[in-house]
Structure 1
Amino acid sequence: MNRNLTTLLCSLIVALYFIYGANTLHAQVQKDSVRIFFYQGRADLDMKLRSNKLELERLLDLCSSIEDTTLYYNNISIKGWTSPEGGISINGSLSKKRTDAIIEFLSTNVQKKINTIDVQFKGSDWNRLLDLVRRDKGIPFQAEAINIVEQLMILDEAEKYKYFDKIRTLHSGRIYAYLYQKVFPELRSTIIQFAKKKKTLFIRFNG
C-alpha cells in the first residue's frame, strides 16, 4: 500500500479514536418527535387544530425513512395524555382513545413495516404540567402553583387528582382559571417519538 495513503488512514483512525474515546463507534441514534393536539374531551384528529396537519405530514415523512438501507432498527413510541380536570377514570379512557386515533392513522397511511410500536396511555401529563407551571411567568401566584404541583408528584395517581383540587379554589380560582385557559390545552396531546439507529461502525486496532 502506498506509504502516504497508509499514513493518511492511520491518522484518520487515530482521530476517530480520540473523538469517540473507544475502539468502537456505537450506533448513531436519531430521534424525532411529533405532538398532536386535541380539543378538550375529544380524541378525533382535527387537522385544523394548531399545527396538526403539518405534524401528521411530518410523521408520515419520518415513517417513509424506514426503507433507508443504512438503518437496521426502527421504533415508534406513542404516548397519549390529557389535562387533569376530567378525573382519573375519564382521563385514563380518553388518553387511550387518543393513542388509538394515532394508531388508526398510521394503519391507514403507512404501508411499510414498523418493527416496534410502544403504546402508553396514562391519563394526565403531570410531568409536562409541572414543567409548564415552572416556566410560565404569567401564572398568578406562580410560586404557590409550583409548590402544589411539585408536592403532588410523589403521590399515587388517585391522590394526585385530590391534591390538585386545592388549586380550584385557591385565590378565588385565579390560578386554576389561568391554567385552564393557557396551560391545559398544552396537555391535551399525544406525542409520537420515532427512533432509528444507523449501522454500527467497528474500528479494530491490530496488535
Structure 2
Amino acid sequence: MNKILYIALLLAGTSAITTAQTEGETLRLEKKMVERSGDYLLIDLTFDLSGLRISSNHSVAYTPAILSGDSVRTLPQLIVNGRNRQILYERTGRNVAEDGEFAVRRKNGTEQRFDYHARIPYARWMGKSEMIVTADDCGCGWNALSSTRSDLFPIRLRQAPRPLMAYIAPVAEVKNRAISGSAFLDFPVNKTDIYPDYRQNPRELAAIRQTVESVQDDKYATITGISIKGYASPEGSYANNERLAKGRSAALLEYVRSLYDLSGVDTKVDYEPEDWAGLERRVEKLNRPDKEEVLAVIRDASITDPDRRDTKLKTLNGGETYRFLLNEIYPALRHSDYEVAYTIRPFNVQEAKELIYSDPKQLSLDEMFQVAQTYEAGSAEFKEVFEIAVRMYPDDPVSNLNAANSALLNGDSAAARRYLAKAQEGPEKRLAEGVASWLEGDTDQAATIFRALANDARVGEQARANLEQVKD
C-alpha cells in the first residue's frame, strides 16, 4: 500500500456509545485508527461488546459517521443481534459484503470484541472532522437519530507534503567536447626530430595515441580538431629555444598525421619558446631557502630580455641554485600540450534512455532532461536521472537546481540544500528553498516564500498550490 498521508490516532482510552432505548449497559470504542492512503480514507475501529446486553429477539444498528459542519459521510452499519434475531438475519440470505454492513451475534455475559474496517473515498473536509456514531434499536434510521449521536473522537489528518516544483529545461547544445594531455618527449640536444624509441618516448607517444584513438573508436564521436603547443625550458638562448619549441611542436603533429587520416580535421600548432610561467608555478611549491630569491628574479618586471633573466638566475648562490633548477625543474618545462576536439551526435529519447545508464558522458543535459520527462515525477527512475545529470555536470547551475527539486520530492532536504548552493538564481531556486523550509518544519518561512512568489509568471502556480498545503 502506498500510504501518502498519515494520522496519529492511536489507542487513547475508550468511548461509550449509548442506545436510544438502552437495552443493557453500553457499547464501547476500545481502539481507533484513521489514515489516508491515496484517494481513500481507511478506518479501523475495535468495539468492545462486553458491556452490552441484547435480548434474543432484538438488535441494535450502530452507524458510524464522519461529520464536519454541514458535511457528513455515513459508514457501513454494525448490526449487533440477539440470538434469535441473528438466526432470522441469516435466513434472509443477506450478503454483508454486498449490503455494505456488518452483523454480529451478541453472546451476553461474555467478553466480546469486534474489529470494524471501512474504506471510503477521501474528501478534503475529512482532514478536520469528527467521528460520531448513532445507535438505532427501533428501526428509525439515521435521519431520525442523528440528533442523538455519540461523539467518538476528532479526526486530525496530518498531510505529508506533496510539493509542486519548477524545473528548468536545459538549453539544447551542440555537444563539443575535448580531451587534453601533456607529453614529455625526449629529444637529443638541439634536435627537433622525434625518435619513437628514444628514452621515455615510447610511453609518452603511447599516451598521445591512446587519446586520439579513444575518440576515433567512439562510434558516436567525430574528431573536429587537434592542437599542439610546445614549450621549451629557459636555459640557453631565447632564439634557439624558439627554434626548438616551434620545430618540436611541428614534428609531433607530423607524427600524429603519419598515423591517422586527419582529412577534414582542423589542426593547429603553437609554441612557447620559454615556459617562465611554468617555472614560477613550480618554484612557488618549493620548500627551499633560496625560493624567494628565485621568484624575485622571475617576477622582476624591469628585466625584459629573457636571456638576461636566465643569466641572473645562474649567478644566484654561486650557481648552486641554477644547478638545482636544471636538474629538478627544467625537464618538466620541456613539454608539448595537446588537445583532441570532437563532437558527439545528438540522440533521440529512446537512445538517450539506454545511454544514461551505460555511457552518460555522451549525453547533453538537455537529453538527460528529456529522459527524466518519460518517468513519473518523484519516482526512483526520475530521481536517478537527475542524480546522474548532476554527477556528469557537477558545477552546472541548471543540473544542480533540477537535482535539488528531485531530492525535495523524495523528502531529502539536506541533499537539496547542497545542490541549491550551486543552483541557478531565480524564482525556481527560491521556490525550492521554500519547499526545503517546509520539509524541515519551518512552515512560517515556507509560507513567506510562497506568498512572495504567488504572482510570479514562472512559478506562481506551484507557489500557490504549495501555500494552500502549508496553510492546511
| TM-score normalised according to structure 1 size | 0.73
Percent identical across equivalent pairs? Answer: 21
Q: Which amino acid aligns with 1:49?
A: R
Distance 2:283 2:326 in 1: 12
Match of 1:190 in 2: 336
Q: Residues 68-95 of structure 1, C-alpha deviation per residue, up to 9 Å, x if partnerless? A: 3422453221111111112111111111
Give the one of 15, 27, 32 matched to 2:180.
Answer: 32
Distance 2:179 2:263 in 1: 18
Q: Which amino acid aligns with 1:176?
A: Y
Judging changes above 3 Å, is the alpha-carbon distance between structure 1 residues 189 and 29 closer, same or farther for their aligned structure 2 residues? same
Give the one of 310, 313, 319 matched to 1:167.
Answer: 313
Q: Which amino acid aligns with 1:56?
A: L
Q: Residues 99-158 of structure 1, C-alpha deviation per residue, up to 9 Å, x if partnerless? A: 122122112222354612110123111121111111233x55011112221335x965xx
Judging changes above 3 Å, is the alpha-carbon distance between structure 1 residues 193 and 24 closer, same or farther for their aligned structure 2 residues? same
Match of 2:300 in 1: 151
Distance 2:264 2:285 in 1: 36
Give the one of 102, 110, 115 matched to 2:260.
Answer: 110
Asked whether the equivalents of residues 91 and 123 of structure 1 are also in contact (C-alpha less than 8 Å), the reply is: yes
Secondary structure of residue in 2 paired with 1:180: helix
Match of 1:84 in 2: 234
Structure 1 portions without partners, runs of 5+:
1-13
Asked whether the equivalents of residues 76 and 114 of structure 1 are also in contact (C-alpha less than 8 Å), the reply is: no
Distance 1:163 1:116 in 2: 37
Secondary structure of residue in 2 paired with 1:136: coil
Match of 2:206 in 1: 57
Asked whether the equivalents of residues 180 and 337 of structure 2 are also in contact (C-alpha less than 8 Å), the reply is: no
Question: What count of residue pairs does the alignment treat as equivalent?
Answer: 185
Asked whether the equivalents of residues 66 and 114 of structure 1 are also in contact (C-alpha less than 8 Å), the reply is: no
Runs of 4+ that moved beyond 4 A: 200-205
Asked whether the equivalents of residues 84 and 91 of structure 1 are also in contact (C-alpha less than 8 Å), the reply is: yes
Asked whether the equivalents of residues 80 and 191 of structure 1 are also in contact (C-alpha less than 8 Å), the reply is: yes
Q: Residues 137-189 of structure 1, C-alpha deviation per residue, up to 9 Å, x if partnerless? A: 3x55011112221335x965xx2332332111121112111101111111222
Judging changes above 3 Å, is the alpha-carbon distance between structure 1 residues 132 and 147 closer, same or farther for their aligned structure 2 residues? same
RMSD of the TM alignment (CA)? 3.1
Secondary structure of residue in 1 paired with 2:231: strand
Match of 2:248 in 1: 98
Judging changes above 3 Å, is the alpha-carbon distance between structure 1 residues 27 and 111 closer, same or farther for their aligned structure 2 residues? closer
Asked whether the equivalents of residues 186 and 198 of structure 2 are also in contact (C-alpha less than 8 Å), the reply is: no
How far does residue 22 in structure 1 lie from its aligned partner after superposition?
Answer: 3.1
Distance 1:143 1:48 in 2: 36
Distance 2:334 2:289 in 1: 22
Structure 2 portions without partners, runs of 5+:
1-164, 347-363, 371-472
Distance 1:173 1:84 in 2: 15
Q: Which amino acid aligns with 2:336?
A: T
Does residue 129 of structure 1 match 2:279?
yes
Asked whether the equivalents of residues 229 and 270 of structure 2 are also in contact (C-alpha less than 8 Å), the reply is: yes
Distance 1:89 1:128 in 2: 19
Greater percentage in helix: 1
Match of 2:423 in 1: none
How far does residue 67 in structure 1 lie from its aligned partner after superposition?
Answer: 5.3
Distance 2:219 2:269 in 1: 26
Asked whether the equivalents of residues 183 and 337 of structure 2 are also in contact (C-alpha less than 8 Å), the reply is: yes
Q: Which has the higher contact order (CA 8 A, sep 6+)?
A: 1
| TM-score normalised according to structure 2 size | 0.35
Larger radius of gyration: 2
**Quick check: 22-31 or 93-102, which moved more?**
22-31
